[in-house]
A and B are shown apart, each in its own frame.
Chain A
Amino acid sequence: MISEKVLKAVTAGKIWSFHGGIHPEMHKETTSGCLIEELEIPNILIVPIRQTSLSAGEIIVREGDRVLKGQPLTKIFAKGQIPVHAPTSGTVKSIGFYTACHPSGLKDQAVVIIPDGEDEWLEHKGCSNFTDLSPEELADHVTEAGIAGMGGAGFPAGYKLKSAIGKTEILIINGCECEPYLTADDALMREKSDEITDGIRIIQHILKPKLTIMAIEANKPEAAEAMRKSIQKAQAHIEVRVLPVRYPTGAARPLIYTLTGIEVGYDSRSNDFGVSMHNVASTYAIKRAVIDGEPCVERVVTVTGGNFCKNGNYVLKNGTLLKHLINKVGLKNNKAVHIIIGGPMMGFSAPSMDTPLIKTSGCVIAPDAKELPMAGDYLNCIKCGRCQEVCPSRLVPYMLLSHSRAENIEGLKNCNFKDCIQCGCCTYVCSSGIPLVMEFRKVLAKIKKMKDEEKSKRKSQELIAFRTERTEREKAERQARIEAIKQKTLSSETTESKPQTSDLKNEQQAKAVALAKAKAKAMQQVNAGEKQNLDPAVSADDPAARAKAIALAKAKTRQQADAVEKQNQEKQNQDPAVSADDPVARAKAIALAKAKARMQQADAGEKQNQEKQNQDPAVSAEDPVARAKAIALAKAKARMQQADAGEKQNQEKQNQDPAVSAEDPVARAKAIALAKAKARMQQNKELDK
């Protein structure tokens, strides 16, 4: 926590100067005077469900659904996830994998929405009296509104707030916007200063800091003035601090150092020091989420660069495609279009014009030939040391460079590579025009890939080990069981016999019981409704299988008798066949059904010679394999049913039991598949709910 002395110095307005930094040409003039404009609703929106570097929630809409603006498209299950909301009203056209807003151009899951142009809001209710809510509630509310840190890093704001509750002494609102070209935050502060002030007050209520500083770089005097006025009007305790212009003052760590003199290394978090920081745009989004109840579905984006016809700050809906923006704004030169998403220093080249803009993309630049960064080949590093002079993290970038090229991970570690904030200062000053940051990103991607591979390798190894262990165990268990049974059979004549025993009588009895059960089941199924019976037929795409299934259904209908019992579990029993998308599972399910049908056919009457019944399925089945299966299944079932004969069993248990007790490996495999299919189906069902 912060000592009194430091707090005093900070309050007194002391400004620390971080190492390095650069003074690039700002290029802000073209957009800094622009008012925030709305852009026409596009005719298609592709909303990636993953908008932060953390995992995404689960999609809860279906193709064809009509969604309203602000309606959640995903639901969060784990910490760190944030939901995405429909940016406007319209229809969900499809759900699938589309180009993500990422330099790699990889595809990621996204929801495609065709807007209907009405922009109709989902009914929502704000809460102007946010002080009535507890900090935790408010933080959760921010999470539910899907607010990602809008400064670029994209850490979910809600979690950031929650983790800082009770730990924050200094709250920093980051309005530096130190990167060239960007003026979106500037525009927000000038036009929405009241809202931002409200947003800050909400954060203050959540975090209860001793001191709140709003940091604005000196090149935005109007923004600072507007903020000051609003703060005064609201009588909020917020200090506006104007900082000297230098890139990257607005990056988290340099800014914390500038304002407090605290250096947050890569192995610690600002919370540990009692400092918490939020971006202006996030603050604005928080205000809208809490007071207006509107989730984060759009943001202000600076659209600039010599190649755009009309530069400005536009409100863009989450998921707006680059090409829509280009169409609306217009390009001067349509050949060899190069678009940068994010700032010129920290951003990346858009992989395609179908790239959607997301919550963290605050700037789109279409540079003209003049502005385009030095292209292509670069010279050798001459160790001029300039990169080292400007690195705000006090790294030695040319060392990192040579380690990155050599993929020397150990060396990178020794050079504190993790402290690199990828600010791009080194690239900017490099005498040899070496794209250092690009090299860093490359090696980072490689490290990540290596880690992932290692992880999956470990996982599969674990899985294999687990499987072998299980097989071993089962084998041993089975062996033990067989032994036990043998012993028992030898010693006494009990009804506790198993099919493995040579006691024919017992076996027959067991089968009889099983048959009775099966019959009862069949009747119930019929009673439960035609639909259920027909389901397997509907889902099977194999005509033969379908024909059989129909035949089975018919057979069942024919056998229809006055069944009395009603069990809901029956449905479950039949369902695997319905929902199983795995052909093997389906085939098995059909085989099972067939076996059952055959048995039931044989058992058309109420009372029949048990011997005959037992034989019949085998006799009538024309396919030897199917016959074998049928026998195995019947046996398995018989065994189970015998175990809890006369009781109303839990069908699930029955279905799982074969796995344990069946001695025939094929049958076991089938049973497992069946159980799996069922489990999957149940999951699906839950999801549907």
Chain B
Amino acid sequence: MHRGASTQLIMFMVLVALLPAVIVHVISFGWGLVWNLFFCTIWASLLEAAVYKLRRRSPVAGLRDLSLQVTVWLYCLAIPPYLSLWMTLLGITFAVLLVKHAFGGLGQNTFNPAMAGFIFLLISVPSAMGGWVVPSTRNLEIYNPEYSLQMLLMDHSDIKKQMIIDTNNETLKKIKETDGATYATPLNNFRELFDYRGVVRYIDRDTSEISIESHGTAILATAYIAGGLFLIATGFINFIQPLFFILSVYLTGLIINMIGLKYGFNTVNNWEHLFIGSTMAGAFFIITDPVSSPTTAKGKALSAAIIGFFTVIIRTFGSYPDAIAFAALLGNSFNPVINKMLKPKRFGAGGRKA
């Protein structure tokens, strides 16, 4: 008998759709992500199996739904590729044990576990979260599997030092000159790097050549978009959330820009908002997580718009990078209210007793 796609299939397709982003990520930043995925998968599966054992449910059946994999992938894509392994594992432990299972397992958690894990790290070890390398095709060579693994096993202060040593790239040298100490996510320092057109300003670039070096984040964003459109086209996710989210980000960015121009504070161009950081990852993969989003179409639209709005606000006024994670959690916390507010009208209440 035909039914809709199974949860398993949905999750599997999400993983498939994430593949382009994973590939681009590895090409731009090296093999760190692969190791992270490897370790996190094993660790998180063990954790979850233990939880299911404790709850007297079959671990196999519990793990079969692949939702854990999706969480792991999103989490690993969000954190810096070179982060001490213990931190990475700490974050995923938090995500699985506290965010997912303390709320009663899949389907019961209010917050997106991947984002919660990421934010947990951001708050507890903020200095380590800058372990990003500037995207470059050469990273694939430098951060080969062996070397990446070595990096992950280091302490995070060593990682930082090592990354500076590794940087023989011209572009990176240039950054070192402007901002010697920090190699943070491009977005983290967009205020300082505002003029660094290669990373941030891509839209009105004068060079016609497109490369990882010049368009790093934009290419990654494109990979997310490709995966997302694939999911929409195959009907695994609904277009409502990405659409409203992107619209909201764009419009809020536009308004903030106008205000910023008037009052003279730095803002990101409204178009750039769409392509920097993890806007697109958020649009197609994070806020679409069914568990932590409202169930009705209206609710979904509303929640997506709220998250988009907060994304831009936090980016502009907040002190943390990657506003998506915060905005998503904020948006998640509105879910119960939204679900209640948009509870369908009772059958019969609309009936006319003429």
Contacts and interface: CB of A to CB of B under 8 A. Distances in A.
Contacts of B2: 24-25
Interface in A225-275: 253, 261-268, 272-273
A373 B7 CA distance: 16
Interface stretch (B18-26, B60-68, B218-226, B256-264): B60-68
**Residue from the set B8, B296, B344 with the largest chain A CB neighbour count within 10 Å:** B344
**Residue from the set B61, B294, B350, B354 with the largest chain A CB neighbour count within 10 Å:** B354
Interface in B257-311: 290-291, 293-296
Interface in A336-375: 344, 371, 373-374
B347 A394 contact: yes
Given A379-B65, A429-B4, A431-B5, A384 B10 contact: yes
A395 interface: yes
B106 interface: yes
Contacts of B4: 386, 429-431
Given A380-B106, A382-B291, A429-B4, A416 B346 contact: yes
A431 B10 contact: yes
A384 B7 contact: yes
**Residue from the set B7, B290, B296 with the largest chain A CB neighbour count within 10 Å:** B7
A398 B106 CA distance: 13
A2 interface: yes
Contact of B65 (A261, A380, A385): A380
A402 B109 CA distance: 13
A496 to B, nearest CB: 69
B153 to A, nearest CB: 35
B7 A431 contact: yes
A433 interface: yes
Given A383-B295, A432-B65, A24 B1 contact: yes
A253 B351 CA distance: 11
A379 B7 contact: yes
B317 to A, nearest CB: 32
Nearest to B64: A379
Interface in A374-424: 374, 377, 379-386, 388, 392-396, 398, 402, 416, 419
Nearest to A25: B2
A492 interface: no
Interface in B319-350: 343-350
B188 to A, nearest CB: 33
15 contacts: A24-B1, A25-B1, A265-B347, A265-B351, A273-B351, A371-B1, A373-B1, A379-B64, A380-B106, A382-B65, A383-B107, A383-B293, A416-B346, A431-B7, A433-B3
B351 A382 contact: no
Contacts of A266: 347-348
B105 interface: yes
A94 B292 CA distance: 60
Nearest to A381: B107
A482 to B, nearest CB: 65
Contacts of B108: 402
Interface in B1-35: 1-8, 10
A212 to B, nearest CB: 19
Contacts of B56: none
**Residue from the set B4, B105, B106, B291 with the largest chain A CB neighbour count within 10 Å:** B4
**Residue from the set B3, B296, B344, B348 with the largest chain A CB neighbour count within 10 Å:** B348
Interface of A: 1-3, 6, 19, 24-25, 253, 261-268, 272-273, 344, 371, 373-374, 377, 379-386, 388, 392-396, 398, 402, 416, 419, 428-433
B352 interface: yes
A2 B351 CA distance: 11
Given A380-B107, A394-B346, A385 B1 contact: no
B106 A382 contact: yes
B178 interface: no
A585 to B, nearest CB: 53
Contacts of A24: 1-2
**What 4 A-B pairs are tightest by C-beta distance, nearest first?**
A265-B348, A385-B295, A263-B351, A380-B106
B150 interface: no
B6 A432 contact: yes
Given A374-B3, A379-B8, A379-B65, A6 B354 contact: yes
B68 to A, nearest CB: 11
Interface residues of B, number: 37
Interface string B88-107: 00000000000000000111
Contacts of A384: 7, 10, 290, 295
Nearest to B295: A385
B47 to A, nearest CB: 16
A419 B352 contact: no
Contacts, number: 121
Given A398-B295, A431-B5, A419 B348 contact: yes
B107 A385 contact: no
A383 B7 CA distance: 10
A395 B346 CA distance: 7
B348 A267 contact: yes
A349 to B, nearest CB: 15
B58 A385 contact: no
Contact of A382 (B1, B107, B348): B107
Nearest to B108: A402
Given A265-B347, A419-B348, A380 B105 contact: yes
A382 B7 contact: yes
B96 to A, nearest CB: 14
A395 B347 CA distance: 8
A2 B8 contact: no
**Residue from the set B2, B67, B343, B351 with the largest chain A CB neighbour count within 10 Å:** B351
B161 interface: no
B347 A383 contact: no
Given A379-B65, A380-B65, A388-B296, A268 B348 contact: yes
B127 to A, nearest CB: 36
A268 B67 contact: no
Nearest to A344: B1
A625 B293 CA distance: 81
B349 A379 contact: no
Contact of A428 (B3, B58, B348, B350): B3
A3 B348 CA distance: 17
Nearest to B345: A394
Contacts of B351: 262-265, 268, 273
A553 B321 CA distance: 108
Contact of B7 (A253, A380, A395, A419): A380
B6 A1 contact: no
A512 to B, nearest CB: 78
B352 A262 contact: yes
Contact of A263 (B1, B106, B294, B348): B348
Contact of A253 (B67, B347, B350, B352): B347
Contacts of A383: 107, 290-291, 293, 295
Contact of B348 (A264, A379, A380): A264
**Residue from the set A1, A6, A373, A385 with the largest chain B CB neighbour count within 10 Å:** A385
Interface string B150-169: 00000000000000000000
Contacts of B352: 3, 6, 261-262
Contacts of A388: 295-296, 344
A622 to B, nearest CB: 68
Contacts of B353: 268, 272-273
Contact of A430 (B3, B293, B295): B3
Contacts of A374: 3
A2 B58 CA distance: 55
Contacts of A272: 353
Contact of A379 (B6, B296, B346, B354): B6
A402 B64 CA distance: 21
Interface string B137-161: 0000000000000000000000000
Nearest to B61: A377
A23 to B, nearest CB: 9
Given A383-B107, A386-B4, A431-B10, A263 B350 contact: yes
